[in-house]
Amino acid sequence: MTADPAFPTLHGRPAQGWVNDPNGCSYVDGRYHVFFQYNPDAPTHGAIRWGHMSSTDLVRWRAEPIALVPRPGEPDGFGCWSGCVVDDGGVPTAVYSGVADGTQRSAVLLARGDRDMTVWTQGRTPVAATPDDPLVTHVRDPFVFTAEGRRYAVQGAGHTAGAGRVLVYGCDDLTTWTPLGALLTSDDEVAATVAPANIWECPNLVPFGDRWVLIMSMWRSPTDDALHLDGVRYLVGDLTVGSEGPRFAPVSGGLIDDGPCFYAPQVLRHDGRTLI
């Protein structure tokens, strides 16, 4: 407990520093794990690591050692940004956006953990990078899912002066990603109406009932050429897997949150439940 009336008592929170996006929400060997964007050195957004807390009941949380750290001279030297954790043949594996320098161009990196997820080995070889596409200036926030027995990943993408899109990759072998084009673009009328943005961030794609739900966080660029957080939207639709890979066709959608604070949520499916 703490004497600070603003400090939460029912939610995981480190004692100090900067905290934002939840990452790597997972359930392994009887414990829920939540990683998060973290700077333990100061209440400022910089030198981003992956903090880590775990729980058996989603109420009482235990602080765990920092999982991922920026490494000078490596593809994540400028920060270990958002991503997910998957079980890869019994090995907990973090799939995250690494940024090497101030250009903020990201690449997807892997880190392998032990079963307790307290000891991590960060890789040095990117498995996916920002494509050479004039319609795309930003790509980040990998999220891995399975469909029709195959493993895929999506990343949020877009252009500071253009429109959002979600890119999709084949990754049955997590060390070898195959670009499969766009899962969804702003050319889709439903998506453009429900989720107007220059960049779609932190996509989550999960089955829900007999359809799929795509959750995206909105970056918008007003006339001052700065990017602003613009809430979170969901799209409900159908996922088909064809010869070119998965494609998502939304039929409806709506608002999850309209402000800048409930941003970049992450979904965890476990034991018949879908948690966000």
Hey, which residues are catalytic here?
Answer: 21
DSSP three-state, residue 198:
coil
C-alpha to C-alpha distance for 177 and 123, rounded to whole angstroms = 15
- The gap between the terminal CA atoms of the chain, to the nearest Å, is 25
Number of H helices and E strands in the chain, helices first, is: 1, 19
- Residues with Cβ within 8 Å of 73's Cβ and at least 6 positions away in sequence, in order, are none
- The H-or-E segment that residue 94 falls in is strand 91-99
Q: Give the distance, in angstroms, between the CA of residue 71 and the centroid of all CA atoms in the same chain.
A: 20
> Could you write out the DSSP letters of every residue in 230-263?
EEEEEEEEEEEEETTEEEEEEEEEEEEE-SSSS-
Write the DSSP assignment of 172-196 as a string of letters.
SSTTS-EEEEEEEETTSHHHHHH--
Distance CA(44)–CA(145), nearest Å, equals 32
| Separation of alpha carbons 49 and 129, rounded Å | 20
Q: Give me 213's structure tokens.
A: 């739900």
